């Protein structure tokens, strides 16, 4: 039930015993206003400013009849104030309406075990809302989508807006150079996958239906401020009695990812390209080294273009007959050897090619203000963008996926991008571009998922995405971390994929991996041997094990650059395969409960406050604690072990809780298992073979 208490010149609103709002005249919980947002985008790196024309605090209030139905309340057919009408000052009610005269009305009701807030009868000029929520001084906040730099958002303010993550992301000289040359430096909060949602270490959550630009501010020790650049459709609160319960309920609300095909949980997906001869040669080299190759991921199946950024693709979504003659035959041959073939697609179209000509002629591309196709510059070439607000355009690109990808035998693909819808874009639906921008990644996910469902092959074929928003999760079999630097940079390198996976997991996303080795090579940055080996270790303790050659393959260390690397890859792939049954168990748990595979340790050790200060170690399933080595030239590593009985995976030595220094040579990253684990025999088998 909703608990409402009126006191003096204010009120407090609680749900299931958790205070959510505290209002008084001096510090009102709500303000409305008008603003004019200004957007500038360079390669999906956004600079956003607001010109606030009016901000009206909602100081005065009156509580309407708590017994009336929501429609009656909205129609003012049964108004009755608490004050002066003999009603108690404190009550538990199934719904309540609070009017802020001359401003806006707040309707609160219990729906499906959650508190739902809606704004009724907003005055026509309002397009800004500021809502303050009650905060506890020692509370920790997680969420707002995928976070690469920070896990605990307490003390932070950040936008909720889908965009490129940036190069360097505010760390070091590389950010300054990327910003100066390409406008692509990014910030600590830049994310492909935002969510207007978060959860608290006090086991409550907030999920907002408001796709326009938003800013969430967690800096005040007593209040969390949510700023919306529209009137939200709804704001939903959930309260549970434990961390696993609130994460599971969060996952229920956002949707559960579809199960991945079983074959994705074993072997390595080799990221290779260059034509059939090169691919087959690399496969043989891998197999000769003892690497279990379950798939090849061939992004240049559509052809290649060379740009100032490096090796990029020809965005024409059919196989390039010059680069890959008779590709369907090649795929069949690989299938006969138990090796699957994955490709690549995104929502852009190369303007030099025939698919663009067809889409443009049929009006399927995003337009500019002059009614022409709106070209978006990605690196140094323009491309058109499919208008996913157009049902006919959606059907068309689904047909392309069914025929040109699934139809020729592809077993999966990277469904890239989604965050590029530019300022000023004109859409078939007539909606404003800024009301659509955050939703576009979710529509891109749905198009891919529906195309897969329409072929009936969703249990065999997989795709993976980097961009997302509300609505993405239930349509995306897998997510990957996006484009990291091929180095140790704490803002944009190897380390960042750990908080990325944990943060998505806390929001109920269960299937996550990263490019083994990273992606972005710029300036002096290139992938070293040690970095590749350490990233391979991290990939071993994730759901999929997939390598990437990077945007400049010739400058990066690859899986076959020397014999030692081949041996390391073979070893870690064997460890990966040994954990298949454990992965399946953890995924089944995710499907049933919403608890992710990559977990923040506090989910199972809520009483340990030190865990909230850690962001580079995680639980992999319930029973494995993983602390990847994220700096170079280290042979030992410090790990924090919560209260439990822990066994070192490689040595079999038992460790007491607390901070512990352990040996971490290449091939033996810091990993521990719970002594009471039902998978103890599996872990001991790994120790006997690889310890």
Same-domain check for residues 227 and 188: yes
Q: Is residue 303 part of a domain?
A: yes
- Using the 3D structure, point to which of 254, 275, 296 is the last residue of a domain: 254
CATH code of the domain in which 225 resides: 2.60.40.1760
CATH code of the domain in which 557 resides: 3.20.20.80
Same-domain check for residues 338 and 470: yes
Tokens linked to 546:
């997939």
| CB 328 within 8 Å of CB 302 | no
Same-domain check for residues 544 and 480: yes
Mean pLDDT for the chain overall: 94
Mean pLDDT, range 102-120, rounded to an integer: 95
Same-domain check for residues 196 and 288: no
Q: Is residue 538 part of a domain?
A: yes
Per-residue H/E/C for 430-451: CCCHHHHHHHHHHHHHHHHHHH
Q: What is the pTM of this model?
A: 0.95
Q: Is residue 64 part of a domain?
A: yes
Residue 7 binned pLDDT confidence (cut-offs 50, 70, 90):
confident
* pLDDT tens per residue across span 557-579: 999 999 999 999 999 999 999 99
Q: Is residue 142 part of a domain?
A: yes
Same-domain check for residues 294 and 402: yes
User: What was the pLDDT predicted at 8?
Assistant: 81
User: What was the pLDDT predicted at 70?
Assistant: 37
Mean pLDDT, range 387-400, rounded to an integer: 98
Mean pLDDT, range 47-76, rounded to an integer: 73
CATH code of the domain in which 607 resides: 2.60.40.1180
User: What was the pLDDT predicted at 378?
Assistant: 86
- Torsion angle defined by CA atoms of residues 285, 287, 289 and 292, in that order, rounded to the nearest 10 degrees: 130
Burial 286-322 (b: 16+ CB within 10 A, else e): beebebbbbbbbbbbbbbbeeeebbbbbbbbbbbbee
Which class for 192: exposed (0-12), middle (13-18), buried (19 or more C-beta within 10 A)?
buried
- Using the 3D structure, point to which of 254, 276, 301 is the last residue of a domain: 254
| CB 204 within 8 Å of CB 246 | yes
Query: Over 90: is that where the pLDDT of 80 sits?
Result: no
Q: Is residue 356 part of a domain?
A: no
Q: Is residue 361 part of a domain?
A: no
User: What was the pLDDT predicted at 86?
Assistant: 32
- The number of C-alpha atoms within 13 Å of 443 and in the hemisphere containing its C-beta is 21
Greater pLDDT, 92 or 14: 14
Residue 310 binned pLDDT confidence (cut-offs 50, 70, 90):
confident
Residue 84 binned pLDDT confidence (cut-offs 50, 70, 90):
very low
Q: State the Cα–Cα distance between residues 161 and 514, nearest whole angstrom.
A: 22
User: What was the pLDDT predicted at 309?
Assistant: 84
Query: Over 60: is that where the pLDDT of 68 sits?
Result: no
Any idea what DSSP says for residue 47?
A: E
User: What was the pLDDT predicted at 78?
Assistant: 28
Q: Is residue 259 part of a domain?
A: no
Same-domain check for residues 228 and 306: no
**Residue labelled with tokens 């929001």:** 507
Query: Over 60: is that where the pLDDT of 67 sits?
Result: no
- Using the 3D structure, point to which of 221, 236, 254 is the last residue of a domain: 254
Query: Over 60: is that where the pLDDT of 71 sits?
Result: no
| CB 45 within 8 Å of CB 184 | yes
3-class secondary-structure state, position 262: helix
Same-domain check for residues 288 and 413: yes
Q: Of 690, 684, 427, whose CA–CA distance to 537 is shortest?
A: 690
Residue 412 binned pLDDT confidence (cut-offs 50, 70, 90):
very high
User: What was the pLDDT predicted at 326?
Assistant: 96
Same-domain check for residues 476 and 607: no
Q: Of 499, 471, 467, whose CA–CA distance to 480 is shortest?
A: 467
Catalytic residue numbers, as ranges: 416, 419, 483
Query: Over 90: is that where the pLDDT of 192 sits?
Result: yes
Same-domain check for residues 458 and 512: yes
* pLDDT tens per residue across span 205-224: 999 999 999 999 999 999 99
Number of domains observed in the structure of the chain: 3
Q: State the Cα–Cα distance between residues 401 and 67, nearest whole angstrom.
A: 53
Same-domain check for residues 151 and 10: yes
User: What was the pLDDT predicted at 91?
Assistant: 66
Mean pLDDT, range 469-481, rounded to an integer: 98
* pLDDT tens per residue across span 228-273: 999 999 999 999 999 999 999 999 999 999 999 999 999 999 999 9
Domain of 531, in residue numbers: 264-345+394-419+437-589
Same-domain check for residues 523 and 641: no
Same-domain check for residues 606 and 473: no
């Amino acid at each position: 039930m909703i608990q409402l208490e009126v006191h003096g010149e204010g009120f407090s609103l609680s749900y299931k015993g958790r205070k959510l709002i505290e209002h008084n005249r001096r510090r009102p919980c709500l303000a409305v206003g008008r603003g004019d947002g200004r957007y500038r985008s360079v390669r999906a790196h956004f600079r956003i400013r607001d010109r606030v024309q009016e901000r009206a605090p909602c100081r005065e209030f009156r509580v309407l009849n708590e017994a009336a139905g929501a429609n009656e309340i909205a129609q003012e057919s049964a108004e009755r104030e608490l004050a002066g009408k003999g009603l108690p000052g404190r009550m538990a009610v199934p719904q309540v309406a609070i009017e802020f005269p001359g401003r806006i009305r707040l309707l609160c009701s219990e729906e499906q075990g959650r508190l739902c807030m809606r704004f009724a009868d907003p005055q026509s000029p309002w397009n800004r809302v500021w809502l303050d929520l009650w905060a506890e001084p020692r509370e920790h906040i997680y969420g707002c989508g995928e976070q690469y730099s920070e896990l605990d958002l307490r003390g932070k303010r950040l936008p909720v807006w889908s965009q490129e993550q940036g190069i360097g992301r505010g760390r070091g000289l590389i950010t300054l150079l990327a910003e100066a040359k390409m406008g692509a430096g990014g910030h600590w909060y830049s994310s492909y996958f935002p969510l207007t949602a978060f959860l608290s270490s006090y086991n409550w959550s907030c999920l907002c239906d408001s796709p326009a630009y938003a800013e969430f501010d967690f800096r005040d020790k007593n209040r969390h401020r949510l700023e919306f650049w529209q009137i939200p459709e709804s704001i939903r609160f959930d309260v549970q009695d434990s961390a696993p319960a609130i994460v599971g309920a969060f996952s229920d609300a956002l949707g559960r990812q579809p199960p991945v095909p079983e074959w994705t949980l074993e072997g390595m997906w080799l990221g290779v390209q260059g034509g059939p001869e090169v691919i087959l040669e690399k496969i043989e080299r891998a197999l000769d080294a003892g690497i279990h190759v379950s798939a090849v991921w061939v992004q240049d199946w559509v052809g290649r273009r060379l740009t100032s950024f490096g090796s990029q693709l020809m965005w024409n979504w059919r196989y390039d007959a010059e680069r890959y003659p008779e590709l369907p035959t090649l795929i069949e041959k690989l299938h006969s050897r138990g090796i699957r073939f994955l490709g690549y697609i995104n929502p852009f179209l190369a303007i030099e090619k025939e698919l663009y000509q067809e889409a443009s002629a049929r009006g399927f591309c995003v337009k500019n203000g002059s009614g022409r196709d709106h070209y978006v510059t990605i690196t140094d070439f323009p491309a058109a963008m499919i208008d996913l607000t157009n049902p006919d355009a959606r059907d068309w690109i689904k047909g392309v996926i069914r025929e040109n990808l699934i139809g020729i035998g592809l077993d999966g693909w990277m469904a890239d991008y989604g965050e590029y819808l530019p300022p000023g874009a004109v859409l078939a639906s007539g909606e404003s571009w800024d009301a659509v921008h955050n939703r576009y990644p979710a529509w891109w996910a749905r198009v891919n998922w529906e195309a897969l469902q329409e072929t009936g092959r969703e249990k065999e074929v997989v795709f993976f995405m980097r961009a997302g928003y509300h609505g993405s999760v239930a349509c995306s079999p897998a997510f990957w971390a996006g484009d990291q630097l091929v180095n140790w940079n704490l803002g944009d390198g190897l380390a960042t994929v750990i908080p990325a996976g944990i943060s998505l997991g806390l929001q109920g996303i269960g299937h996550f991996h990263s490019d083994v080795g990273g992606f972005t090579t710029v300036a002096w940055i290139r992938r070293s041997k040690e970095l590749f080996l350490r990233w391979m270790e991290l990939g071993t303790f994730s759901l999929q094990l997939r390598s990437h050659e990077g945007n400049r393959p010739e400058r990066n260390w690859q899986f076959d650059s020397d014999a030692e690397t081949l041996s390391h890859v073979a070893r870690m792939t064997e460890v990966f395969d040994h954990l298949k049954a454990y992965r399946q168990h953890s995924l089944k748990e995710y499907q049933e409960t919403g608890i992710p595979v990559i977990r923040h340790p506090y989910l199972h050790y809520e009483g340990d406050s030190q865990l909230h200060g850690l962001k580079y170690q995680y639980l992999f399933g319930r029973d494995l604690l993983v602390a990847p080595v994220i700096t170079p030239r280290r042979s030992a590593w410090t790990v924090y072990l919560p209260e439990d009985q822990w066994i070192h995976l490689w040595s079999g030595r038992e460790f007491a809780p607390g901070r512990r220094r352990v040996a971490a040579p290449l091939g033996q990253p810091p990993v521990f298992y719970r002594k009471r684990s039902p998978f103890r025999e599996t872990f001991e088998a790994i120790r006997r073979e690889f310890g």
